[in-house]
A and B are shown apart, each in its own frame.
Chain A
Amino acid sequence: MTETLTNPVLTLLRLIPGVETLSDGMQVLLSGFLAGVILFAFIAVFALYAVYLERKVAGHVQDRLGPMEVGWHGLLQTIADAIKLLNKEDFAPKDVDTKLFTLAPFLVFMTALSVFVVFPYDSQVSIANLNIGIFYVIAISSIAVPAVIMAGWSSNNKWSLFGAMRSAAQIVSYEIPVGLSIICVIMVVGHMGMQEIVEFQGGGFWKWVIFRSFPFNFIAFFIFFLGSLAEVNRTPFDLPEAESELVAGFMTEYSGMRWAFFFLAEYGNMLAVGLVGAALFLGGWQPPFEFLSFVPGWLWFILKALVLIFVQIWLRWTLPRLRVDQLMYVCWKVLVPFAFVCIIGVGLWEVLT
C-alpha cells in the first residue's frame, strides 16, 4: 500500500479507541472486516437503488410509470422488497447437495464484493491500491464461474444445469475479448495499477484513454462494454438465466435470502463493470474539464459508472436475446479478431508517436 494515499478503512480503524494496543495480525483482520462491512453496505444500498432505477427506466421505456405506491414515487419499494426477502423461509429442496447449494450464492457474492477493493474512488482514496489492480479484477471475477457451476450442479435440476453450463461457457469466452481490450488500455498507460491509469488521464476529456490512439481505443471500449454485458449476464447476453427458456437458469431452485445474494451479486457486478469501464476508458475521477474540478472526484467516478449502467438497463429493455451459438459467434468471430486489430493498432500508434 502506498503511504501517501488515504485509506478510508485505515482512517476508520484509527478512530477505534485502543486499536494500537492490538497485535499487527489483529489489526489486519479488523481492517479486513471493516472493509467488508463498508463494501457490503455500499453494494447493498447501490443494489437497492439500482433495482429501483432499473424498474423506473423499464417503466418509462414501456410506457408506464414503474413503482409508484411505496414512498414518494415508489422510492421505498425496493426496501419493502428486501424486507420481504429477508422474511422468507430459508428453504432448500430435498435432493440438493446441501453443502454446495448453500455455499454457491455466497461465493458468487464474494467475488462481486472483492473487486471493489482496488477501485480508485478519488485521487487519494482507495482501499487497496495494488500495482496489478486491473489484473486482480480480471482474476477475481473468474472465480464466479466455478461458483455458478456449483449452484447449477448442486440444485439437481436440469434447467439449473443448463443455465450453469451456459454461464460457464459464456463468462470464460467473453473474458478473452474483455481481457484483450484491457490490454489496449495498459499499452497506452504502461501501468496496471488502477490509480495510475486514472491519473494518466488527467487534464480534460480528450486525454481520456477512449480518445487516445483514435479509433483503436474507441473500438476497444465498445468491445469491453459488450464483453462486460455478457460477463454480467445482461440482455442481449442473458442466456444463463433466460427466463423463457431455462425458467431461471442456475437460480431456479433458489429462493429467499440465498436468491437475494445472487441478485445482489448481479447488481454488484453491474456496478463493478461500470466502474472499471469508467476508470479505464472514461478518466475515472478526473473531471471532463479542468474548471469542473471543484466537483468531488468520487462523484465523477460514480456518475460515469451510472451512465454506463443506464446504457446497460436501456439495452436490456430494448433488445431480444441471442441464441447460444450466436453468442459464441459474436465472441470468437467478431469481438476477438477486432480486439487483436485494436492491440496491433494501439501498439503501432504508441511506437510511432
Chain B
Amino acid sequence: MTSEEIFAKLKEKFGDKILETDTEAVQPIATVDPASIAEVCEFLKNEPDLDFKFLNCLTGVHINKVEEEEEEKLRVVYNMESLVIKHKTALDVIVPISKPNVPSVTSVWKTANWHEREAYDLMGIVFDGHPDLTRILCPEDWEGHPLRKDYVVQEFYQGMKVPYPEEEPKQEEKEEK
C-alpha cells in the first residue's frame, strides 16, 4: 500500500485524531494525537491489510524552537513496516516539554520496551503505561536528559568531576607567566 492509502485508512478509522499527514516529504509521515497513539498503533498492527507487525525504530526528538515565545516541544517518531506486505510507514506525536507524557506502545510491540526506555533516558519523554520505565543507558542516578537541547552536564557524579576541564591548560600557562 502507498502512504496515501495507509493514511486515508487511518483517517477513515480515527478521524480527527490524525492531526496532520505529509505525503510529499522524503519520508511520508502522519502526526497523531498523543492520547490515541497506542490505539492507532494497535490498529496498524492488527488490521490484516496493514499488518505493521514490525517496529523498526522509535525516536525521541527535541524540536528546535522557531519562534521565541513558542513553548518547547518534544516529539516521538515511530517507524514501522510489514514483513509480509512489504510496505512501511511512519507516525509521530508532539507533546509539550512541560508535560512530556505519551502512552506506551509496549503492549503493541515488545521491542518498544527498550526503545521507550532509551527515549525516556536520553530525552525525558515519559511513556505512560510502560512496565519498567527506568534509565537504560545512563546510570540510574544520573541527572538530566542528555539529548535535550538545553542539557547541561552535571558538575559532579558521585563525587567525580564530570565535565572535561577544557580551560585548565590555559590557566597553567598563565601561572607559568
- Determine direct contact between A and B, CB below 8 Å: no
